[in-house]
Structure 1
Amino acid sequence: MKKIIIAVSGASGVNLGIKALELLPNTIEKHFISSGHSKVVLKKETNNIIEHSNSDISASIASGSFGVDAMLIAPCSMNTLAKIACGISDNLITRAAAVMLKEHKKLILAPREMPFSAIALENMHKLALLGVIIAPPVMAYYSQQQNLNEMENFIIGKWFDLLEIENDLYKRWE
């Protein structure tokens, strides 16, 4: 069974990370981490999810031997992104990301701030050179979304494409 970590950091855009978690197929073992700031908006229950405390750096997903396949941090705060870029592993989100890097596993970051500062862009560039996929929640209009739900599905569908998870969440380019 494929193992995927979904983490949310920061409060703005947490709904995208939660929705991505909920839309993952039940054939995937889902691990979930949320930062303290994102807990404010997390009051939903979902199925087939193993939730980890962000302060538990001894959790199974903090070890490369556990065998996680990929990790998506959506949204990814600039603080979390900077910590990952500098190798700081002071919580489970940043530790799990460090494991993804050292194990050469797929790590996708969805930075949520706009505009990006030169420092943030430098951190993203550094991470991209290490193989991290930088995939902010950016819209494309060819799939002709009509409402917020369809816009969110487009973004999540693109993330699932990167995670190699089949989906029909958005209208593809024809």
Structure 2
Amino acid sequence: MMPRKLVVAITGASGVQLGKKFVDYLPKDIEVHVIVSDNALTVESFENKQVTLHSSDNIAASISSGSFRVDMTAIIPCSMNTLAKVACGISDNLATRVAAVALKEQKKLLLAPRELPFSAIALENMQKLAALGVIIAPPVMGYYSESGSLEEMEKFIIGKWYDALGIPNALFTRWE
């Protein structure tokens, strides 16, 4: 089986630790490409992980083309600005371009909006994207997971994101 290609874009300034942990827990057989916005993380944060880093400004990067054949894309966290741009078809940076390609190619696209409360405009954008098949998955705590710590809750959320993308994981205890 060919390794799957995953693009992870980290946009916004809050919730970036979830995007980084999402990358850290990924299985080694997935080819990972990471886009980090200027407001998110520094490149040094990914030095110990086997990932290909891309500048958010490099709209001509390999991952911006449908012919590169990315299998799935996750934007974690997804700023409201990025959400609005994706919903309106604006692809003015690499993260929004990769999302536009995922929509065009009908590939899995997961967005993890990070602000709350959601405005009516944000909810409208999420509904529009969900109707197009985008997985809208804010980092919502699952109290039924019986997590005993913040780390366990983060693993639960990340595990649910992996489930939505079809990535096998054992990050949380499943119901039997």
Q: Same fold (TM over 0.5)?
A: yes
**How far has the Cα of 1:42 moved from its partner?**
6.0
Cα shift readout 1:133-165 (whole Å, capped 9, x = no counterpart): 100000112221011110100000000001111
- Corresponding residue for 2:134? 132
Whether contact under 8 Å (2:140, 2:157) holds in the other structure is yes
Tell me which of 143, 147, 150 is aligned to 2:149: 147
**How far has the Cα of 1:39 moved from its partner?**
2.7
- Corresponding residue for 2:26? 24
- Corresponding residue for 1:39? 41
Whether contact under 8 Å (1:110, 1:135) holds in the other structure is yes
Task: Give the aligned residue type for 2:153.
Answer: M
- Corresponding residue for 1:78? 80
SS in 2 for 1:101: helix
- Corresponding residue for 2:13? 11
d(CA) in 1 for partners of 2:43 and 2:36?
10
Whether contact under 8 Å (2:8, 2:76) holds in the other structure is yes
Structure 1 vs Structure 2: percent identity of aligned residues?
63
Cα shift readout 1:86-144 (whole Å, capped 9, x = no counterpart): 00000000000000000000000000000000000000011011110100000112221
**How far has the Cα of 1:45 moved from its partner?**
2.0
Tell me which of 165, 168, 172 is aligned to 1:166: 168
Whether contact under 8 Å (1:33, 1:93) holds in the other structure is yes
Whether contact under 8 Å (1:22, 1:46) holds in the other structure is no
**How far has the Cα of 1:47 moved from its partner?**
2.2
Structure 1: tracts of 5 or more residues without a match: none
**How far has the Cα of 1:5 moved from its partner?**
0.6
Tell me which of 96, 99, 110 is aligned to 1:97: 99
d(CA) in 2 for partners of 1:164 and 1:62?
22
- Corresponding residue for 2:114? 112
- CA gap of 1:60–1:127, structure 2 versus 1, over 3 A, is same
Q: How many residues in Structure 1 have an aligned counterpart in Structure 2?
A: 174
Structure 2: tracts of 5 or more residues without a match: none
- CA gap of 1:15–1:147, structure 2 versus 1, over 3 A, is same
RMSD of aligned residue pairs (Cα, Å): 1.2
TM, length-normalised to structure 2: 0.96
**How far has the Cα of 1:16 moved from its partner?**
0.2
TM, length-normalised to structure 1: 0.97
